[in-house]
Amino acid sequence: MSDTLTQQMQSAASAYLAGVMASPEQVVAHVAVVIGVGLVMAGALVRTMMPLRWLAVGSNCGLIIYGALHPSYTTLAIAAVLLPINIYRAIEVTRISRRVRRAQAAAEYVGYWLKPYMKARKLKAGQTLFNKGDRAEHLYLLVEGQMELVELCKRIEPGRIFGEIALFSPEGVRTRTARCITPCTVLQIHDSTVKQLYYQDPSFGFHLISLLAERLSSDVARAGVMTQLGESSATQAAAH
C-alpha cells in the first residue's frame, strides 16, 4: 500500500514537473515563487527594519509574477495589495536612516547654528558661573577665555558646550562648580529652549547624547582610578 502511494506521488510530481518544464511561462512563474518565498524566509531572519521592508518588496514582486502567470488570482491580489504598502514603508525607513546619518554628521557643528538661540554673558577672571548644588537652568557655550570645573581641576576650552548633565538629571542641580580662570565670554541658552531643540532637531539631539556619553565615560573612568588609589592606600596602610 505504501509503495503504491509512493509511486503515485512520484508519478504526480513527475507529471507536474513535466508540465512546468513544457511551458516557459510556468518556468518563470515557479522560479518567481521560489524567489518570493525565499525572500520571505530571509526577512524572518533579519533584525533591522530597512532590509526587512526591501525583502518584503522583492517577495511581493515574485508572488505577483507567480500569481499572474500560474495563474493564482488570490496570490496575485494579496501581493498586489501589499506591494505599495511595503514600498512606501521601505522608502520611509530609508529616508529616516539618511536623516539619522546626516544628523550624526552635522552634530559636530551644532555650536555654530546654536548661537542665534543663545545670549552672551561676560565674566571676570575668578568669577563663578555656577556653583555645585545650584539649580540648572541654562546650557553654556564658552566663546572666549578659559574656565575650570573646580572639583575636577579640569579646564574648559573655547568652543566647548558644557552644563548639559544637570539639565537632564532627575535632581536638576549642578554637580560641579564652573569658575573663570581668565576673563570669559559665554553664550547661554535656557533649559526650555534646549528641550525644544532636542525634540525638533536630530543633530542637536545627537550632539547632546555624545556629550553626555563622553562625560559619563570620563566620570566612570575617574571613579575607577579613585577606587584603585583607595585600595592601594589601604593595602599600604595595612602593610605598615
Inside any domain, residue 88: yes
Structural domain contains residue 113: no
Higher-pLDDT residue of 229, 61: 61
Work out the pLDDT band at 92, boundaries 50, 70, 90: confident
pTM for this predicted structure = 0.49
The pLDDT-based confidence of 231 (bands split at 50, 70, 90) is low
Q: How much is the pLDDT for 20?
A: 72
What gap in Å lies between CA 219 and CA 78, rounded to an integer? 56
Supply the pLDDT for residue 147. Answer: 94
Q: How many domains does the chain have?
A: 2
pLDDT for 74 equals: 93
Rounded to 5°, the CA angle 163-168-169 comes to 95
Q: Is the pLDDT of residue 100 over 60?
A: no
Element (H, E) at 198: helix 191-200
100 shares its domain with 123: no
Say if residue 27 is in the same domain as residue 84: yes
71 cis-preceded (ω within 30 degrees of 0): yes
Exposed/middle/buried for 13, CB within 10 Å: 0-12, 13-18, 19+? exposed
Q: Does residue 53 lie within any of the structural domains? A: yes
165 DSSP assignment: H
Band (pLDDT 50/70/90 cuts) for residue 6 is confident
What's residue 227's pLDDT? 61
Mean pLDDT confidence for 97-102 = 66
Number of H helices and E strands in the chain, helices first, is: 8, 8
232 and 126 fall within a common domain = yes
200 shares a domain with 154: yes
- Most confident of the ranges 21-30, 108-117, 161-170, 198-207: 21-30
Residue range 36-89, pLDDT digits in tens: 999 999 988 988 788 888 999 999 999 999 999 998 999 999 999 999 999 998
- Length in residues, the chain: 240
Residue 206 placed within a domain: yes
Identify the pLDDT of residue 132.
92
> Does residue 107 surpass a pLDDT of 70?
no
pLDDT tens-place string over residues 9-20:
777 777 777 777
pLDDT, position 230 = 58
Per residue in 135-187, pLDDT (tens digit) is 999 989 888 999 999 988 889 888 888 888 888 888 889 988 999 999 999 98
Separation of alpha carbons 53 and 169, rounded Å: 38
- HSE-up (13 A, CA, CB side) for residue 233: 6
What are the b/e assignments for 135-170, b being 16+ CB within 10 Å? Answer: ebbbbbbbbebebbbeeeeeebeeeebbbbbbbeee
Per-residue model confidence as pLDDT tens digits over 109-130: 556 667 777 889 999 999 999 9
What one-letter code names the amino acid at 20? Answer: V
Same domain, yes or no: 86 and 132: no
**Rounded to 5 degrees, what angle do the CA atoms 62, 66, 67 make?**
115
- Grid cell locating 146: 578659559
pLDDT value at residue 221: 62
**DSSP H helical segments within 70-150, as ranges?**
73-106, 110-114
| Whether pLDDT at 108 is above 90 | no
Range(s) of the domain holding residue 129: 118-239
Q: What DSSP designation does 133 have?
A: T
Q: Mark whether 20 and 55 lie in a shared domain.
A: yes
Within this chain, do residues 11 and 71 fall inside the same structural domain, yes or no?
yes
Distance, in Å, from the CA atom of 121 to the CA atom of 168, rounded to the nearest integer, reads: 23
